[in-house]
């Protein structure tokens, strides 16, 4: 995707999000209905028996048990009445769920509760789904409680849910008990997604696709916000049920735009990219039309989102197919992770649509879809994080490769053959006149050669070659410290070791062991053969501080230990005796054997 096209899509998505935020604010704080109350259930009692259906289509009054579905036309008023029970008191409330129904409740013809267009709601054709807590504290035992229900939708006309009676505290306790897990989960996802977005934005000197990550976490934030705005606990926090519902609908219209834009960031081929761009435009137009229709009172969100959900399901199916082709083409594990998350959401949406056709399933509650969304969000968070980690690892590997290339280039610039041949001339010249210094120069040249090679070589070599390096180092130390007692027992050298791994251990034993001894320095290096392995033992008579406690050299002790383990399965054993010394044993397993670390 060229930069100009990408900027256009970014602007479009940002505009869509901005418009959504503006309307959420309007619905939450400006266009709010009058007389809506906070709801304040654990010890609630059923209040479903003994209701009377009054004057239904001119018929005589008849008893009614709830919940029930009465045949009713759009905007037909259903009236049910019941006497206040004997245990009614000042704290008593009725609790009743409604979907898209206007509601009026009276006690002895005195209005005590209203919900919906009866509150003169201008922008909504019908009441929004909510939990109704009806204060009947003014009722006395035997008083007549009357409930009027009417819906602008045929589907909900005549539908009467179950009713419970209890106190405000019971209502609050019940709602929190039933919905706290999902509420906390969604709230945590909101917090985590915000933190991750901020952390990605402030990443410096790291080659991470920030646009992809931000859109991914932004979508997760939107889904979590959508989930939390449909949670009844939020109705305890704010009295604006209408605003919460409208915010939930606007977020639903925004989510597909963010998700498709996130997936668009993975596309490389132009022909696939065009499909995603068309999808972004379609859902951006869909969001704009939905908001405009709602504002102009042409079609409210309750009706419009039905078509949006159909578009979303179709889009998920198409997206799953495209993602499968992309994953199969590129073999990218990140795309496979996204595909798994997308398949979970697609299956949940399809099962939700299928179950909605049956009467036993309540589609508005959306249990299957809710569970699917939660699983989807977890998988998507993991997928986005894996993508970021993969990109960071790739950047690190790239930098390391560049460093290695620079090392090799620098080594090539050193004419090592010329240096070594010159030193050999000096050695040969001194042999006849100063054999001791001739040996020192030879040891120095070998030590220099191996140190230069160590910057580039990471292979297995015969231990005889490693031992030559060790002897050259010990020869230099003997010249510098004449009191140092050096013993080398190298009868067994016909086996392989990782290049430049044993010498650093010897060097450390001398510097941090033998040379610090109060009794005169002594270092012993021996190699021997066992049934299952070849062993190299380094003994010093220092203070008893092993390399796992203190180490100096080109590599750290952990790096040497890791190289020995990964390249040949070798282990290091350490025995310390305070003020007596340290014994370090490197065990290199023979073919077919495994050496365990004690």
User: What is the bridge-based pairing of β-strands 485-489 and 522-529?
Assistant: parallel
Helix (H, G, I), strand (E, B) or coil at 474: helix
**pTM here?**
0.60
Maximum Cα interatomic distance, the chain, rounded to a whole number of Å: 134
pLDDT in tens, the chain (598 residues): 556 666 777 777 788 888 888 888 877 777 666 555 554 444 788 899 999 999 888 888 899 999 898 999 988 999 999 999 988 888 889 999 888 888 899 999 899 998 875 455 555 556 788 888 899 988 999 999 999 999 888 888 888 989 999 888 888 888 888 888 888 888 888 888 888 788 777 766 555 577 778 888 888 888 888 888 888 888 888 878 888 888 888 998 898 898 888 888 777 777 777 888 888 898 899 899 988 888 887 887 878 888 888 888 888 888 888 878 777 776 666 777 778 888 888 888 888 777 766 665 555 456 777 787 778 877 877 777 777 667 666 666 666 666 666 666 655 555 555 555 666 666 665 666 666 666 666 667 666 666 666 555 667 889 998 888 888 888 888 878 888 898 999 889 999 999 888 988 998 888 888 888 877 789 999 999 999 999 999 999 888 878 877 777 667 888 889 889 989 999 999 998 888 889 999 999 998 888 887 7
List the structure tokens of 83. Answer: 């006497």
CA distance 253 to 197: 21
Report DSSP letters for 35-47, one per residue: S-------S-EE-
CB neighbour list of residue 24: distance below 8 Å, 6 or more residues apart: 243, 246, 247, 250, 251
Domain boundaries, the chain: 3-34+179-398, 45-170, 486-589
Fold agreement between 3-34+179-398 and 45-170 = no
CA distance 219 to 200: 14
On the 0-12 / 13-18 / 19+ scale of CB atoms within 10 A, 305 is middle
CA distance 479 to 477: 5
CA distance 229 to 225: 6
For residue 337, count other CB atoms closer than 10 A to its CB: 19
Q: Which CATH architecture has domain 486-589?
A: 2-Layer Sandwich (3.30)
Q: Among 496, 510, 487, which Cα is nearest to 463's?
A: 496
List the structure tokens of 572. Answer: 């290091």
Q: Which of the 8 DSSP states describes residue 521?
A: -
CA distance 363 to 58: 33
Q: Among 477, 474, 579, which Cα is nearest to 526's?
A: 474
**How many degrees, rounded to 5, is the angle at CA 407 between CA 406 and CA 408?**
90
Topology of domain 45-170 in CATH is Jelly Rolls (2.60.120)
CB neighbour list of residue 25: distance below 8 Å, 6 or more residues apart: none
- What is the Cα 42 distance to its own chain's centre? 35
Is-cis flag, bond preceding 67, omega within 30?
yes
Pick 3-34+179-398's CATH classification: 1.20.1070, 3.90.480, 1.10.357, 1.10.3470.
1.20.1070
CB 342 within 8 A of CB 358: no
CA distance 192 to 196: 6
């Amino acid at each position: 995707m060229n930069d100009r096209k990408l900027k256009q899509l970014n602007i479009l998505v940002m505009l869509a999000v901005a418009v959504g935020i503006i309307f959420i604010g309007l619905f939450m704080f400006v266009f709010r209905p009058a007389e809506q109350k906070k709801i304040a259930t654990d010890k609630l009692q059923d209040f479903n028996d003994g209701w009377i259906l009054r004057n239904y289509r001119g018929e005589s009054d008849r008893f009614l048990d709830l919940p029930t579905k009465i045949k009713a036309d759009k905007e037909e008023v259903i009236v049910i009445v019941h006497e206040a029970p004997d245990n009614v008191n000042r704290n008593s409330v009725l609790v009743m769920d409604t979907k898209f129904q206007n509601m009026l409740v009276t006690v002895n013809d005195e209005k005590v509760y209203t919900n919906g267009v009866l509150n003169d709601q201008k922008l909504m054709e019908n009441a929004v789904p909510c939990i109704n807590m009806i204060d009947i504290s003014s009722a006395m035992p035997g008083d007549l409680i009357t409930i009027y229900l009417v819906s602008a939708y045929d589907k909900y006309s005549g539908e009467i849910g179950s009713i419970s009676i209890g106190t405000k505290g019971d209502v609050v306790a019940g709602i929190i008990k039933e919905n706290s897990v999902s509420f906390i989960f969604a709230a945590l996802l909101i917090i985590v997604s915000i933190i991750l977005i901020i952390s990605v934005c402030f990443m410096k000197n790291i080659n991470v696709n920030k646009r992809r990550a931000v859109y991914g976490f932004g979508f997760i934030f939107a889904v979590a916000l959508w989930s939390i705005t449909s949670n009844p606990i939020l109705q305890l926090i704010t009295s604006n049920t209408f605003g919460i519902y409208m915010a939930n609908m606007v977020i639903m219209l925004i989510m597909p735009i963010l998700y498709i834009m996130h997936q668009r960031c993975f596309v490389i081929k132009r022909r696939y990219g065009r499909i995603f761009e068309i999808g972004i435009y379609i859902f951006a137009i869909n969001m704009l039309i939905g908001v405009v229709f709602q504002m102009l009172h042409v079609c409210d969100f309750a009706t419009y989102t039905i078509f949006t959900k159909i578009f979303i399901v179709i889009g998920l199916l198409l997206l799953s197919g495209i993602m499968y082709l992309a994953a199969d083409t590129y073999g990218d594990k990140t795309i496979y992770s996204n595909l798994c998350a997308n398949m979970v959401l697609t299956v949940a949406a399809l099962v939700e649509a299928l179950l909605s056709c049956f009467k036993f399933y309540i589609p508005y509650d959306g249990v299957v879809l809710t569970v699917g969304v939660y699983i989807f969000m977890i998988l998507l968070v993991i997928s986005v994080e894996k993508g970021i980690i993969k990109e960071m690892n790739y950047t690190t590997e790239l930098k390391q490769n560049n460093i290695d290339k620079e090392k090799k280039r620098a080594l090539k610039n050193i004419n090592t053959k010329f240096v070594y041949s010159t030193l050999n001339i000096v050695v040969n010249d001194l042999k006849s006149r100063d054999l001791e210094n001739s040996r020192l120069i030879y040891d120095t040249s070998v030590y220099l050669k191996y140190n230069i090679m160590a910057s580039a070589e990471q292979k297995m070599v015969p231990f005889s070659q490693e031992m030559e390096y060790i002897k050259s180092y010990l020869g230099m130390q003997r010249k510098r410290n004449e009191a140092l007692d050096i013993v080398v027992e190298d009868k067994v050298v016909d086996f392989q070791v990782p290049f430049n791994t044993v010498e650093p251990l010897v060097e450390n034993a001398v510097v941090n062991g033998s040379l610090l001894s109060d009794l005169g320095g002594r270092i012993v290096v021996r190699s021997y053969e066992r049934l299952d392995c070849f062993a190299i033992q380094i003994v010093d008579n220092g203070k008893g501080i092993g390399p796992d406690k203190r180490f100096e050299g080109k590599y750290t002790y952990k790096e040497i230990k890791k190289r020995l383990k990964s390249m040949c399965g070798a282990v290091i054993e350490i025995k310390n005796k305070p003020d007596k010394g340290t014994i370090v044993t490197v065990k290199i397993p023979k073919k077919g054997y495994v050496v365990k670390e004690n």
